[in-house]
Chain A
Amino acid sequence: MTTPVLEIIGVSKRFGDTLANDGISMSLGKGEIVALLGENGAGKTTLMSILFGHYVPDDGQIRIDGEELPPGKPRAAISAGVGMVHQHFSLASNLTVLENVMTGTERLWKLWSATQAARKKLVSIAERFGLKIDPDARLGDLSVGEQQRVEILKALYNDARILILDEPTAVLTNIEAERLFATLKDMARQGLSLIFISHKLDEVMAAAHRIVVLRGGKVVAGRKASETSKAELAELMVGRRVTRPVREPSTPGAVVLEVRDLGVRIGGVERLKDVDFALREGEVLGIIGVSGNGQVPLARVLSGTLARTSGEILLYGEPVGHLSVGDVVDAGIGRVPEDRNGEGVIGEMSIWENAVLERLPAYSHNGLVDRKAGMAFAKSIIDAFDVRGGTPASGTRLLSGGNMQKLILGRNLSHRPRILIAAQPARGLDEGAVAAVHARILEARKAGTAVLLISEDLDEVISLADRIQAIVAGRLSPPLDAGRIDARRLGLMMSGDWSHAAEATHAP
């Protein structure tokens, strides 16, 4: 490789108590494709946001062609030739492709836009990189893959030489993803430099020249794609965490929750299809998968906030109809939602109110809320679950993520639920809080609670689950026992390659 076009030198960024980026250094050569690999929360997106000027780093600098980029200025980044393709596209769906691409490139006070010149430039770029697109199509009419192409074209239209793609395949089908990587390779051959963010092992091995692995905000390794393997990358990415609690063997009891052929359609789109699983007392069933594969509707159906379209749910052996939140809570099902701040708590309300809100019938008489009992309950959660930073009457928003999660776990586990639906329970928490949350889940398991753990965190699922099923495109794989699982097999399961995953279990 020639001299680097981009250098990131010692970049650090702290958000509150978490160090999202910790002295990260990396470089990118001309015509090179580098994959930035890491789990959710490893700091990939933060790093790229710093590079693109969305965030100002606390420390460190970015150099492009040897010149330092002023921090916190997206415009400077754009004019230096950095283009960003966001995971959630920054496009307007009511404008045409051409209008979207031109947006932001012209001065506001100009009376006429140079549409003809822009069209010519767009068409020539599209031809050069084989990105076929109709400049006059309305963006909202395009498929997600095509919209992404527009986002890429927009970056190229701004004369980007360095292209950053944030989880570009998260929204794509497999065929679309393959086509995207072919395009990226072609771009690299033509002299562009690319960084793409991913947590999928297959695609980084297939598309990147070089792979930089991030974990906990630090660069843990840089490898050439030709000199590494998926197994090594998985290990580097997941790492070994010693402080987490260990699952003791247990004998699961009767099936308490059984789901057969569950299907959910939202707005005509099939989100869940033929989902089957059985959950037994005293076991943790892990549902692993890359986000957006149906975890959210699955958790919602079981939490009582979404109605299923088809299929059967058997609760304690009895088939049940539509489940409301009240039904679910009354049936002894504890719920830990994926989005703590959005769903789990109401930040502007006090801790005691959040503790009793889902059980108001039990904490009220004749329509009057029993404040005293609510306060006492909140106090008992705070004491028993070590919730720090608040009193029963103080605002819930002031709690840190970990303490908020302890509150949510506490209000559920205090009532000794027979079933616990936990969606991404440790997401975004620091190590200490993760360990506490995991310990609580294992404690509940030991007490006989059946736990459904929906998670994207390989490490979490491996350390907690007795059996594991992967969720891919709204379907569940057959279950595999945890004893036969390692990161590589999980990767295969999560990619939808269920037959190979099962075979791999027979290999030494």
Chain B
Amino acid sequence: MRLERREHRPLLLLIGAPIAAIVAALALSGILIAIAGAPVLDAYRRILVGAFGSRLSATETLTRATPLILTGLAAAVAFRARLWNIGAEGQFYLGAIAVAAFGSRLLAELPGPILIPLLLVVGAIAGMALILVPLWLRLRFSVDEVVSSLLMNFIAVLFVSMLIDGVLKDPLAFGWPQSQAVADHATLPKLIARSRLHIGLVIAMVLAVLVYLVQSRTVFGMQSRAAGLNPQGALFAGVPLGRTLVKVACLSGGLAGLAGAIEVMGVKGYVTTDLSPGFGYAGIVVAMLANLNPIGVVFAALFTAIMFVGADGMSRSLGIPTYIADVTVALALLTMLVALFFTQYRIRR
């Protein structure tokens, strides 16, 4: 038995493989649900109901998907160029705290229509600033950015922790370490009244399309793809590797910083150290689930959000730990990698 590279990739296979992967992941975690003593199909039905059963749960799922789309895009653009940005979590927090600082005090006097876009930019720049550190280390000293960008996360979170217990601490928060809230006119408009769903979802989806267009249509997109796929070949073709990586890093860090900014301006209003339940890391999973395709990221983020929000409901009614959501998403990642592999190779005896 041996593997052989496929010469043609039938459309049916390209569409069918990811679906098969999700089904396989659900089937596998179904085994775990059965072991836990719950009816499998009923459990999945409850997950769907939990995620979409009511107006509240549906908006909650979409709210949850919003930062995941952005951090997923951040990972996807970086990984495409073989820039291993594992620091989206830190960039998320830095974007968030920058918005809290500027939105609560420094710029809060500005009118909303100017303030909101300005704050989004501020958040993105904060994310960029953080990723430039590991990037500089890589370009200057060949330090592996997997490690350095990962470690920057802890520095960023502790830095945020210091600020919200110090200069940015909200005096009205009964001593809890919590930042001052952004001004009311700096919060993002709601998409649906009396829900948490805000315009950030639209921003994220528009950005997904934009990133897709940038990657497929522009000189920068083509060069960053070339740099990622074959640096030696890219160099030979005259692609400026260093400059391309800086641009990719700015895009990636900017998206992650923006995710943090939007989460603060759209949902919470202030920053705590549990603002993100690991959005930065989950973004990596989302990007891999989407095979680094920006449009796919939207769907992968949605799937992940459904699992997490839906599992809460299922857990309450069936008494199964919510960790089943983590397991399912992780299994989906593995089955997706296998499925993608088989879109490229076939088995021959």
Where the two chains meet, the residues of A that have a C-beta atom closer than 8 Å to any C-beta of B are: 303-305, 324-326, 329, 335, 337, 339, 342-349, 353, 357-358, 360, 364, 367-369, 371, 397-398
Minimal Cβ-Cβ distance residue in B for A395: B7
A303 and B219 within 8 A (CB): no
Cα–Cα, bound, A349→B235 (Å): 15
B46 lies within 8 A of chain A by Cβ? no
A selection of 20 A-B contacts at a CB cut-off of 8 Å is A303-B236, A305-B235, A325-B235, A325-B236, A325-B238, A335-B236, A342-B233, A346-B233, A347-B229, A357-B226, A357-B234, A357-B237, A357-B238, A360-B223, A364-B219, A368-B217, A369-B217, A369-B218, A369-B219, A398-B7
Query: Contact partner of A368 among B219, B232, B238, CB < 8 A?
Result: B219
Cα–Cα, bound, A343→B226 (Å): 11
Residues of B within 8 A of A368 (CB): 217-219
A367 and B233 within 8 A (CB): no
CB distance from B346 to the nearest CB of A (A): 14
B234 and A346 within 8 A (CB): yes
- Fill in one digit per residue for B221-246: 1 if any A CB lies within 8 Å of its CB, else 0: 11101100110111111110000000
Residues of A within 8 A of B220 (CB): 367
A329 and B219 within 8 A (CB): no
- Fill in one digit per residue for B197-227: 1 if any A CB lies within 8 Å of its CB, else 0: 0000000000000000000011111110110
Cα–Cα, bound, A343→B225 (Å): 15
Query: Contact partner of A329 among B218, B221, B238, CB < 8 A?
Result: B238
| Given A347-B230, A349-B229, A360-B236 contact (CB < 8 Å) | no
Residues of B within 8 A of A364 (CB): 218-219
CB distance from B222 to the nearest CB of A (A): 6
A337 and B219 within 8 A (CB): no
Number of B interface residues in the complex (CB < 8 A): 21
Residues of B within 8 A of A325 (CB): 235-238
CB distance from A404 to the nearest CB of B (A): 12
Residues of A within 8 A of B232 (CB): 339, 342-343
Query: Contact partner of A324 among B219, B229, B238, CB < 8 A?
Result: B238
Name the residue in B218, B219, B222, B238 with the highest tally of chain A Cβ atoms < 10 Å from its Cβ: B238
A357 and B217 within 8 A (CB): no
Given pairs A368-B219, A369-B219, 6 additional interface contacts (CB within 8 A): A304-B238, A325-B236, A346-B237, A357-B226, A364-B219, A367-B219
Where the two chains meet, the residues of B that have a C-beta atom closer than 8 Å to any C-beta of A are: 5, 7, 217-223, 225-226, 229-230, 232-239
Minimal Cβ-Cβ distance residue in B for A398: B7
A346 and B226 within 8 A (CB): yes
Task: Please give me the 6 A-B residue pairs with the lowest Cβ-Cβ distance, nearest first.
Answer: A325-B238, A358-B237, A343-B236, A357-B237, A346-B230, A346-B233
Cα–Cα, bound, A364→B223 (Å): 12
CB distance from A333 to the nearest CB of B (A): 12
A348 and B236 within 8 A (CB): no
Query: Contact partner of B219 among A339, A342, A360, A398, CB < 8 A?
Result: A360
Residues of B within 8 A of A348 (CB): 229-230
CB distance from B58 to the nearest CB of A (A): 38
CB distance from A353 to the nearest CB of B (A): 6
Cα–Cα, bound, A367→B236 (Å): 20
B225 and A344 within 8 A (CB): no
Cα–Cα, bound, A371→B222 (Å): 11
| Given A367-B219, A369-B218, A371-B217, A357-B239 contact (CB < 8 Å) | yes
Residues of B within 8 A of A367 (CB): 218-220
Cα–Cα, bound, A364→B226 (Å): 16
Minimal Cβ-Cβ distance residue in B for A326: B238
Residues of B within 8 A of A346 (CB): 226, 229-230, 233-234, 237
Cα–Cα, bound, A337→B230 (Å): 14
Residues of B within 8 A of A360 (CB): 219, 222-223, 238
